[in-house]
Amino acid sequence: MTDAVAHDAELDASGLNCPLPLLKAKLELNRLASGSVLKVIATDAGSQRDFRTFARLAGHTLLHEEDENGVYRYWLKKA
């Protein structure tokens, strides 16, 4: 499997339930420079709504998202 989008950091939030994947992603984004891309892996179905809303409200760009057998992957570009 190839990565859909190049990324600068990766966060594996598998097995965590809402809102933990999003909270961990926020903390990780805080460490990254503007323009950096964070790849997040989650297994919580609610994370789709969370990450779309978070990106829109926080001004980050959701470059790509994948849903593969209950594993969700997101590529967020920091504003």
Active-site annotation holder among 5, 9, 18, 62: 18
- Which residues touch 65 (CB under 8 Å, ≥6 apart)? 48, 51, 52, 72, 73, 74, 75
Q: Is 44 a catalytic residue?
A: no
69 SS3 class: coil
Mind telling me the catalytic residues? 18
